Structure 1
Amino acid sequence: MTQTGLPARRTAHYLLMQIIEEGRLLAELVGAGALSRLEAEDRARAQRLANDTLRGLDRADRMLKPFLKKSPPLFVMNALRLGTVELGEGEAAHGVVNAYVEIVARNKRTQAMKGLVNAVLRKMASAGPEEWSKRPVPLTPGWLRQPLVSAWGRDAVSAMESAHFAGAPLDLTAKGDAKAVANAVGGQVLPSGSIRIQDAGQVTQIAGYATGDWWVQDAAAAIPVKALGGVKGLKVLDLCAAPGGKTMQLAAGGAEVTAVDLSAKRMERVEENLTRVGLTARTVVSDAFDFAEDGFDVVLLDAPCSATGTIRRHPDLPYAKDGSEFGTLIAQQEALIDHALNLIKPGGRLVFCTCSLLPDEGEVQIEEALQRHPKLKVLTEALDLPGIDKSWKTTEGGLRLRPDYWSELGGMDGFYIAVIEKPA
């Protein structure tokens, strides 16, 4: 990072404004070049600071509240939030206070409030990391917390929030021997066979990246393919395939894979990943509903969803979204299940999964699919896998994964998975 840290902090402030005020996702901003003018160290710093502030935003607001007679403009509030998080994490007060005072002073609309920022952040500096660490775990924004509490109860949601605040380690899927990869990267093999690295740093610098020995994939996201067992020689359709982790799993297992995704840009990423790891799959850029080729042994449908199960890795999500898209997504998932069933040969299997914590995007979808197609069979025994607690199975025969599971190991993404057999 540069000596003053100002470029990274200004960029982190810009990211926060875009996420909270404009509803843009961090990945979208980064892809659009928000970090491109920064040096490598500053890019990492800006992104980490934005993520840390989003994870701790509720805690920062609670600390700031006694020192604010009324809420300042969002531009100023975000500077205070960033500064409070930095000070809570032990950053030197002098640099933090001066930087955010300067950021506010450079904006003509807020420059008159630089004295407020100076005074409040100095009070935050006096409180320091000790006071920060005493505060409760930050709460999820109400638009999402309320449906989660209705689904899982307050205690479970509190446990999930602890997992969200802790963030996520890096998980890898090995192309070959997981133990050998774990030894090479200094990681541990998880009960499900994924490899976990704490404090991984730059992904491209990890041993085995250049030689294609592994790919990044959260442990929960690797389980849907594992539920298929052996796939060698099977004709498999990976519908909504990007970024390609499951496509690579299937190809590594010897399946004849067709990967379909609507986005040409995202499919380019799938192809790049396949090339790096030395695997092959047929790739098709198409709307899932327009893809009509049938006769597949297996269709894997990782359906578009709210992505609420990925907050530990994407803390921007509950601030960039408001839940207004839920109804559209749920209807789309239902239609995709029916479409996917038409592409499977008699006796074939459908793996339906979503990285969502909402039952309407998981358990309820399968319950309703069974009502529409009463001859379908849910293969609950397919989910008897290493590392999977039997209590995670659901009444309709699927599997519910949550961020607070494996808490002693660093958690996992929230996921729902079901394996369905089409009648012969």
Structure 2
Amino acid sequence: MAGPDLSIHRWTPKHVARWLREEGYCDYVDLLCNQHRLDGASLLTLTEYDLRSPPLELKVLGDIKRLMLSLRRLRQQNGHALQELAVAYEGHPQPGEEAVPGSADERYHQHANGKSRQHGRRLDPECWKTAVSAVYVMLVFGFTSFVMVIVHDRVPDMQTYPPLPDIFLDSVPRIPWAFSMAEACGLVLCSIWLLVLLLHKHRSILLRRLCSLMGTVFMLRCVTMFVTSLSVPGQHLQCSAKMYGDIWAKLQRALAIWSGFGMTLTGVHTCGDYMFSGHTVVLTMLNFFVTEYTPRTWNFIHTLSWVLNLFGIFFILAAHEHYSIDVFIAFYITTRIFLYYHTLANTRAYQQSRRARVWFPMFSFFECNVNGPVPNEYCWPFPKPAFMRTLIG
């Protein structure tokens, strides 16, 4: 090896020339060392893209591949030099930098969730954007609560407009305690999700996505609830219209719904907010986030998540609190928006599309600095106690 007593990042072009001859690349000594004055530091950062592109433009593919293999061995033997130069291993760009398209060094590493992680990917937490998304979803929940009060005042009279025909509701007897079980399924799913969120390394991005998606779906729900008022789905629902007279009474009722998260377990009972089911939206969204942001090998968690989702939907229908179409539409819209959003987020071509920026301005705002799929990496969120740092250090 050239210069055994000299650190590689201090090599001169003469040392690099000696190394090239020892490795059998005598034909490229003049080009690399004499014409382009390649020293040790620049040798460590040399990539296949550099060899193929001007001004080098090596033409022999076999030589390019063999030279890259020799460079990788050299980097493996000189990891300390790479650290001193702040050069990422295998010639990858540092975090926040773009990888060179087409470069063989733009490699992917498999993670536990089956996704591939590209070195140099940008995964900026941008906590201030997460705070904006949290404000957005809370405002949407508040607006939804007010719309629920409005539609309650517009619910059709049961004597004039009886429940609509529904295959499931007409075939399955009502179970009085089923709706409480549906909300219990939601609470268990929420607990699982909060634990995943707490331990996930990229928790800020995950929370931002949940808030933006949840807010968007519930905004759509406000529109569907307001434009068409369905009759109550069961005789057990004793709904009287015009319960809240002036605007202040409506606002107080909306605040009570908002603070109770619209759940019967917190004492909230509403009518008229049928198309589409908000409980189904929450169950399905939490299920998809849990299964998306946990490794594929966590089969028990994934199975439990889907069981809670599907049983929750069954209990909603078994309680006769919603029509079957309410639940079906809620499940379909939630899953489509989740998948569409993540397809856009995971595909750089869509992120750079002008059409995506025009039609999805909020998506472009939240995801502009998230470059590619989010890997499922976990870490302890709290600082380690001083005595543990002393033991480890």
Structure 1 length-normalised TM: 0.28
* Larger Rg computed on CA atoms: 2
Q: Which has the higher helix share?
A: 2
Q: Pick 1 or 2: higher relative contact order, CA cutoff 8 A, min separation 6.
A: 2
